[in-house]
Structure 1
Amino acid sequence: MTDALFHAYASLCIWMSLGVVLYRILPDRVPRWIGRGLFWAGMPVEIFTLARHADFSRPIWLAPTATVCTLLLGLGIALGLLRLSQRWPQDWLGLQSGPRKGSFVLSSMLGNTGFVGLAIAASVLNPENLGLAAFFTVAHNATGLYGMGVLVAHHFGEREPGEGESSDRPWWTSLIAVLKVPSLWAFLLGASTQSVMFSEATEAALARSIWVVIPCGFLLMGMRLSQLKSWRSLVCGLVPAGIKVLLMPAIVALVTPFWDIVGEPRLALVLMAGTPTALTALVLAEEYNLDRELIASSIALSMIALIPLVPLWLTILS
């Protein structure tokens, strides 16, 4: 397991560093191309492959229930701290505006379960438990990134000058966006074709595709993190990063035994709950005019914190 974790970290560091370098010499539109390619093709193929070989004999409710609970946990902690900061004599969190508050909540709640979570899970979990991590990712994308995340961003977002109430998106457009997520359909297709026999060449290609998607995801992360122009939000970014990668997985690790969730399923849920702040939070910040620097700082800090925390969870829970 130590060797697997070392290879996972080495891949993460190498490809993210390469992304930082390439961003400075490639056209600005390249990260967007990579991101759209991963969203529409790379991640669906990865989810499809994991779902085809996943063990769904355990209760099917476990992953989506755990996902919603961790999202609500992050949301509750972030909103509680916002309320506490308003009663404090000084604004100790530095959250003076609505857009900054929205970024704080998104950074505390949304995790990078796709690129980082599944990459770590694929390195340290047995194949029969990867389905739990994959299902967690799909549920997180549907209910978190494109559900709660949109609602939070819309609530705290800053309107453009002259923008009135008529520009508000009706609730059903968010539902349509969820139904359009290709990873959701890839998961359903993969789970429903477990009994279908593919050729050996096809199975081998699907297995190898995972190790193409993961480096591309890390490459994209390096490109996006290289866009950081200021560290003014670093101090405030410490708090949501701590909530995301330390407090949330610690709470999950403490409460799961009460529901008889132990062993590798418990480890899988803890790892997925403790993933770094999601890159998609930056997309929501662009769309709804939130604070970009705070989210970018939380992404960077939570990625750094993940390096010592994953071995800690493996030591405690294995």
Structure 2
Amino acid sequence: MTQTLFDAYFPLILWTSLGLLCFRFLPQTLPRLLGRSLYWVGIPIEILALARQTDFSQSIALPPFITFTALLLGLGVAVLCLKIIQRLAFLPMAAALTSPAIQGSFILAAVLGNTGFVGLAIAPAFIDHTYLNWIVFYSLTHNLIGTYGFGVFIASYFARETHQNHWWVQLRDVLTVPTLWTFLLGYLTRNIELPSSIESGLQASIGIVIPSAFLLTGMRLAQLRGWKSLKLAIIPAMLKVVVIPGLVGILTTLCLGLSGDRRLAMVLMSGMPSAFAGLIFAEEYNLERELVASCIVVSTILLLLVLPLWLFLFQ
């Protein structure tokens, strides 16, 4: 387990640290430019490559259903937690959470998980190969419905004033997400052989996008205002890595009768750290970037602490 965690976290620590150290020597506009480039170009190309690699012939319905349920559960818990904190006016963080930009970032960080970069790197090491497709379909469903469905809708909603919000505005933003269209393109062309230069270029894009996302995280971490930013991130990080996967484990046991590796796969994937996509959405929709970056750090550290607990309880 130690070696698996090291292999998964070494590139994260390396590139994030590089972004953290180099930020002071870079233009102040670079983080936003990098974030928008990842949103419109980098991640869509990566999803195109992954869609062409995925074996859809072994499709199973239960993991996508659990993924969708976990997303709804996370959204409900995050909104409920926000409402409770706002009513407790004596808490220092209650005043900060009145800002729509911070509310949007809070929900994004608590709901969206890094099921791709970190999830697909860690979870397979603890799951029998028979159930690896459960992990793949969880990640795929989470990225398409969660990240580029729920995520875009939430970011778009909280990026606008209340009087400017209409359901068709959020629907338009979801339908114009480039990643959805590149996934569809990858799915439809997965049996078409492309020239080797294009195919190798698509695969190489994965090796560029992931370090770029880590670099962006490091740059945003360099702008954090000490403990204040990290303190606000503790609650959404706890929801993402501890509360939601714990509920998923309990509900899949009681309601679906799952056990063993199938249950563990769903718990691990639902408990991945806050997604880097949340930071990219914060850049694109001008939400609170510091909160998302802080949640990524706190939730990543928490994962290292709770992973042995999930293995003990749900394996």
Equivalent-residue separation in structure 2 for 1:287 and 1:237 (angstroms)? 20
2: CA distance, partners of 1:216 / 1:115: 12
SS in structure 2 of the partner of residue 91 of structure 1 = coil
Secondary structure of 2:228's match? coil
Q: 2:267 maps to which residue? A: 270
Aligned to 2:51: 51
Q: How far is the alpha carbon of 1:44 from its aligned partner?
A: 1.5
**AA in 2 matched with 1:298:** C
**Secondary structure class of the residue paired with 1:98:** coil
Question: Is structure 2 residue 13 aligned with structure 1 residue 13?
Answer: yes
Over the matched positions of the two proteins, sequence identity in percent amounts to 41
**Residue 147 in structure 1 maps to residue 153 in structure 2:** yes
What letter is aligned with 2:60? P
Report the counterpart of residue 98 of structure 2 in structure 1.
98
Q: Hey, what does 1:138 align to over in structure 2?
A: 144
Q: Give TM-score scaled by structure 2 length.
A: 0.79
Matches within 5 A, 1:168-207: 168-207=164-203
C-alpha spacing 1:33/1:268, structure 2 compared with 1 (3 Å): farther
**Greater Cα shift, 122-131 or 133-142:** 122-131
Conservation of the 8 A alpha-carbon contact between 1:54 and 1:131: no
Gap runs ≥5 in structure 1:
none
- Cα deviation for residue 122 of structure 1 reads 8.1
The structural deviation recorded for 1:198 is 3.0
Corresponding residue number in structure 1 for 2:27: 27
- Report what 2:110 is aligned to: 108
Decide which moves more: 37-46 or 172-181: 37-46
Deviations 1:186-211 (A, max 9, x none): 21122222222234444343333322
Q: Which amino acid aligns with 1:24?
A: R
Q: Report the CA distance between 1:251 and its aligned residue.
A: 1.8
Q: Which amino acid aligns with 2:52?
A: R
The answer to whether the 8 A contact 1:48-1:186 is kept is yes
Partner Cα separation in structure 2 for residue 245 and residue 26 of structure 1: 33
**TM-score relative to the length of structure 1:** 0.78
Question: AA paired with 1:217?
Answer: A
1:85–1:92 Cα contact (<8 Å) kept: yes
Q: Cα distance 1:13–1:172, how it changes in 2: closer, same or farther (>3 A)?
A: same
Q: Which amino acid aligns with 1:273?
A: S
Report the alpha carbon displacement of residue 86 of structure 1 after superposing the two structures with TM.
6.1
Deviations 1:140-187 (A, max 9, x none): 123321124443x26xx7x6xxxx94xx14321211111111111121
Which range is displaced more, 11-20 or 298-307?
298-307
Classify the secondary structure of the residue corresponding to 1:243.
helix
Aligned in 2, Cα 1:174/1:231: closer, same or farther, shift over 3 Å?
same
| Cα distance in structure 2, aligned partners of 1:133 and 1:286 | 23
Give 1:215 deviation, angstroms: 1.2
Say how many residue pairs are matched: 306
Query: For the residues of structure 2 that align with 1:288 and 1:42, how far apart are their CA atoms?
Result: 17
Question: Hey, what does 2:294 align to over in structure 1?
Answer: 297
Counterparts of 1:48 and 1:124, CA distance in 2: 27
Tell me if structure 2 keeps the 8 A contact 1:242–1:302: yes
Aligned to 2:212: 216
Supply the distance in 2 between the matched residues of 1:204 and 1:288 (Cα, whole angstroms): 32
Residues 90-134 of structure 1, C-alpha deviations (whole Å, 9 max, x = no match): 734731352255554443233344554456568888675535413
Pair 1:227 & 2:228 matched: no
Q: Please state whether the residue corresponding to 2:225 is helix, strand or coil.
A: coil
Give yes or no for contact 1:50–1:131 (8 Å, CA) kept in 2.
Answer: no
Q: What does 1:46-85 correspond to in 2, within 5 Å?
A: 46-56=46-56, 57-59=58-60, 62-63=63-64, 65-85=65-85
Select between 115-124 and 231-240 the one with higher mean Cα deviation.
115-124
Which one has a larger percent helix, Structure 1 or Structure 2? Answer: 2
Which deviates the most, 116-125 or 231-240?
A: 116-125
**Post-superposition CA distance 1:54-108 (Å, at most 9, x none):** 2322235742x434322322232233334545666x7347313522555544432
1:206-250 residue CA offsets vs partner (Å, 9 max, x unmatched): 333322221111111111111102322443432221111111122
**1:117–1:275 Cα contact (<8 Å) kept:** yes
Secondary structure at the aligned position of 2:274 is classed as coil
Is the Cα contact below 8 Å between 2:47 and 2:182 reproduced in 1?
A: yes
